[in-house]
Amino acid sequence: MNRYRKIVNLSFLFFILAFCDLAFSGTEAYRIGPKDVLFFSIHAGGELQNQLDLTVSEKGTINVPFIGSVRAAGLTILDLETLITKPLGQDYFVDPEVNISIKEYHSLRYFISGAIKSPGLYEMKSRATLLELIARAGGVVPERGNVAYIQRKLTRLIAKSNNSKNPPPVNKSIKVDLTKLLDQGDMTQNRALESGDVIYIPLEKAFNLAESKVYVEGEVTNPGVFDYQLGLTALNACIMAGGFTRFAAPNRTRVIRQQDDKQVVIKINLNDVKKGKIADVKLQPGDLIHVPETWL
């Protein structure tokens, strides 16, 4: 059965990748980042005044004709166009039209782990769907489960609702039905990813040690008891628990383990794990993962 499903999955996966762009809603929500290449043009008086490629510096700025250095990192295309149009209209042109588009993406990063052939951090030059990331990571293993969890920060949405310039990030956990996506070809399950998404695909239940448990407590959305499975890590357990709350300090996460008659505490910076800087902690049955509250 697994062998048959593997063949179906691979055939469907490579066939459908040509249609992945249908899952996107455009670049409106994309936040510009360092190393991105922007195509920039100014029209005024019915004529083209200037056009060129602008590369976002490591500090997040671009050098705009006539007005100099402008911070672009963290802004949407519409935000940046509005920011640049105002000074150009005040000092240089009458009713200028500024058009900016993304020529090359260099700030799109996704972390995928679990039942995947090559887990890790992936940097991509175009926006990805879940299927594209799975393909880039070598595809799923035959023992993969029937769901995928996507953890996403929602700082942008909180900023709009609170009118705050520096809102605390909120994490949302999205559950994807892999049976529908990979086995049945249901493209409504092929979620468009956002830079910074963390994806975890568990093993199927038959390969779990269902009688064993791990415990997640502290600043996660749904703290509680979860089935242990081979290969489960601290970050993956937190994703299964709904992701971190806005008050979480993932950099100070602790894994508490009972070994014989003593307790062992393992400190792990899960922010660095998501960035691919350090390896995650592989859990053992009975482990307790504690995510503390931020000091700020």
Q: How far is CA 28 from CA 25, 58, 76, 83, 259, in A?
A: 8, 22, 7, 15, 51
Alpha helices per DSSP H over the chain? 2-16, 77-91, 130-136, 155-162, 178, 234-240, 270-274
Average pLDDT over residues 227-248: 91
The whole-number average pLDDT for the span 252-269 is: 90
Q: Which fold has domain 207-296?
A: Outer membrane lipoprotein wza fold like (3.10.560)
Give residue limits of the domains in the chain. Answer: 1-22+105-203, 37-104, 207-296
- What is the pLDDT at residue 19? 39
* pLDDT number for residue 85: 95
The whole-number pLDDT of residue 66 equals 93
The reply to whether CATH 1.10.3720.10 applies to domain 37-104 is: no
| pLDDT band for position 161 (cuts 50, 70, 90) | very low
Q: What is the pLDDT of residues 12-60, one digit of tens each?
A: 444 444 334 433 444 556 788 888 999 999 999 999 999 999 999 989 9
Give the number of residues written for the chain.
296
pLDDT band at residue 269 under the 50/70/90 scheme: very high
Residue whose token pair is 């260099």: 106
Over range 258-269, report the average pLDDT. 87
What pLDDT band is residue 286 in, cutting at 50, 70 and 90?
A: confident
pLDDT tens string 54-88:
999 989 999 999 999 999 988 989 999 999 999 99
- Residue closest to 128 by CA, chosen among 107, 158, 148: 107
Domains 1-22+105-203 and 207-296 share a fold: yes
Fold of 1-22+105-203: Outer membrane lipoprotein wza fold like (3.10.560)
Kindly give, in sequence order, each residue whose CB lies less than 8 Å from that of residue 14, ignoring residues fewer than 6 positions away.
Answer: 135
Q: What pLDDT does residue 138 have?
A: 92
